[in-house]
A and B are shown apart, each in its own frame.
Chain A
Amino acid sequence: MLEAYFPLIIMVVFGFAVAFIFMLLSQWLGARRGTKEKQTVYESGMVPYGNARERFSVKFYLVAVSFIVFDIEVVFLYPWAIQFKELGIVPFIAVLIFIAILFIGYFYEYKKGGLKWD
């Protein structure tokens, strides 16, 4: 089984190696005349104000949590989907119940305004 995955693993190493070489090339080939002004961050020509790493809205956090929950749902459906024809009607009904239960959670979040972006 692992033998079949061997090309994949080589390709992963190879792909990142190529990207890494590109990064090194860009550092070696480019000119280097860093001045103080050049190294400040862009802020529409103004002198940068404060630190950029401020706290940000909790909405992003809620999106990430909902994503985890629904992503796990999707992942559970994958092995069922490729076996759909072999498994028959009972697992299909089980999957419908599964989706329905999670849809309750989705509906709750919807009504609470969790999916609203304002």
Chain B
Amino acid sequence: MSLTFLFFGILAVLAIATAVICVSNKNPVVSAMALVAHFFMLAGLYLTLQAQFIAILQILIYAGAIMVLVIFVIMLLNLGDEEKLREKTKYRKILASLLGIGFIAMLCSVYLGGGLGNKATSPMAITIGAPAALGKELFTNYLFAFEAIALLLLTAIIGAVVLAKRKVD
């Protein structure tokens, strides 16, 4: 148990650090790479939660596929001069900090209210993280959701083709 806690501590600190770099750095490529590092830390955090399959998917999908697209887009747009990208309006910054403070307050209230921490892990939570158990659940109880995802992905393909293949006159 202490080992898990140690891991959680290290990973949480690193995750916050990489997230801060991602938000604060001026160079978009540095931000993107910090986000990739952050996803690795998240994968580690999933491991401490017994969710092994989700952990590996976090790397496979987010770090390996989606961030590749983000890197491509950053290079594609070639955002050379970041001065042009500077936010002109202040209200977004204010709104973002308000939301951030609200989120931290919410976390604190949950933690102080005893909602976290002392609960024993249910035996279900330990087994469900394994890929086989997840597959059984997904393909018996959530079959309809699985098919609906196919339609969602279909719209994604069509949208991408329509956007990228548009004739530019």
Contacts and interface: CB of A to CB of B under 8 A. Distances in A.
A65 interface: yes
A101 interface: yes
B103 interface: no
A68 B76 contact: no
Most chain A Cβ neighbours within 10 Å, of B68, B132, B135, B143:
B135
Contacts of B165: 62, 112-114
B52 A1 contact: yes
Interface residue SS majority, chain B: helix
Contacts of B76: 55-56, 58, 60-61
B160 interface: yes
A10 to B, nearest CB: 11
Interface in A66-115: 66-69, 71-73, 75-76, 78-80, 82-83, 86-87, 90-91, 94, 97-98, 101-102, 104-106, 108-109, 112-114
B153 A72 contact: yes
A33 interface: no
Interface string B45-88: 00110101100010011001110110011011110100000000
Given A54-B78, A62-B160, A79 B153 contact: no
By size class, the interface of chain A is 35 or more
Interface residues of B, number: 49
B110 interface: no
Nearest to B127: A1
A53 B80 contact: yes
Contacts of A17: none
A9 B7 CA distance: 10
Interface of B: 3-4, 7, 44, 47-48, 50, 52-53, 57, 60-61, 64-66, 68-69, 72-73, 75-78, 80, 126, 129, 131-132, 134-136, 138-140, 143, 146-147, 149-151, 153-154, 156-158, 160-161, 164-165
Interface of A: 1-3, 5-6, 9, 51, 53-56, 58-62, 64-69, 71-73, 75-76, 78-80, 82-83, 86-87, 90-91, 94, 97-98, 101-102, 104-106, 108-109, 112-114
